């Protein structure tokens, strides 16, 4: 076979786990991913830590099922009375609210930022981005990272 026709096999993908230190404790993104999936209603769609372009920040694209949100909302309001826009706003708000429960599982010395951004009807879920960063990170920087990650997922 002529050399020009030969194509090298794709390299095996290396482990994408990112390790971050919070208060002298090293935490892997895979560890946080597993904690989120085992202890919450959220499914981790993607580890976005490398996309944050920071070595001290973990980030994930999450999804929560609409049925879970509906079950939580049943007692508070009649879903059939809401317009689609109102329902969308309620879903985003509730998804962000219950995502705050993840805070109890993040390492000491870390802060979180959460943003729900999409109702994925094909997946029947609400998509969110969560950032876990050192507590000394400025809020402006946290918002900048969130803006970058939301752009990546849209």
Q: How far apart are CA 126 and CA 6, in angstroms?
A: 44
Q: Where are the domains of the chain?
A: 19-153
**What's the sign of the alpha-carbon dihedral 62, 67, 70, 71?**
negative
> What is the per-residue pLDDT across 86-130, written as a single tens digit (0 to 9) for each?
999 999 999 999 999 999 999 999 999 999 999 999 999 999 999
Q: What global pTM score does this model have? A: 0.85
Taking a C-beta distance cutoff of 8 angstroms, is the pair 143, 129 a contact?
A: no
- Euclidean distance between CA atoms 60 and 56, whole angstroms: 14
Q: What is the pLDDT of residues 121-147, one digit of tens each?
A: 999 999 999 999 999 988 899 999 999
C-alpha angle with apex 101: 45 to 71, nearest 5 degrees?
Answer: 80
Examine the pLDDT at 13 and tell me if it is beyond 60: no
At 14, is the pLDDT very low, low, confident or very high (cuts 50, 70, 90)? very low
pLDDT band at 11 (very low <50, low <70, confident <90, very high): very low
């Amino acid at each position: 076979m002529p050399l020009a026709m030969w194509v090298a096999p794709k390299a095996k993908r290396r482990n994408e786990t990112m390790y971050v230190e919070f208060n002298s404790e090293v935490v892997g993104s895979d560890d946080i991913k597993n904690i989120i999936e085992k202890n919450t209603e959220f499914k981790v769609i993607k580890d976005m830590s490398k996309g944050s372009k920071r070595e001290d920040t973990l980030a994930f694209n999450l999804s929560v099922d609409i049925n879970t949100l509906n079950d939580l909302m049943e007692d508070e309001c009649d879903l059939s009375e809401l317009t689609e826009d109102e329902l969308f706003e309620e879903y985003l708000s509730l998804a962000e609210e219950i995502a705050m429960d993840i805070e109890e599982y993040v390492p000491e010395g870390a802060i979180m930022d959460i943003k729900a951004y999409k109702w994925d009807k094909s997946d029947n879920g609400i998509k969110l981005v969560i950032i876990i960063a050192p507590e000394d990170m400025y809020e402006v920087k946290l918002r900048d990272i969130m803006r970058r990650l939301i752009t990546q997922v849209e």
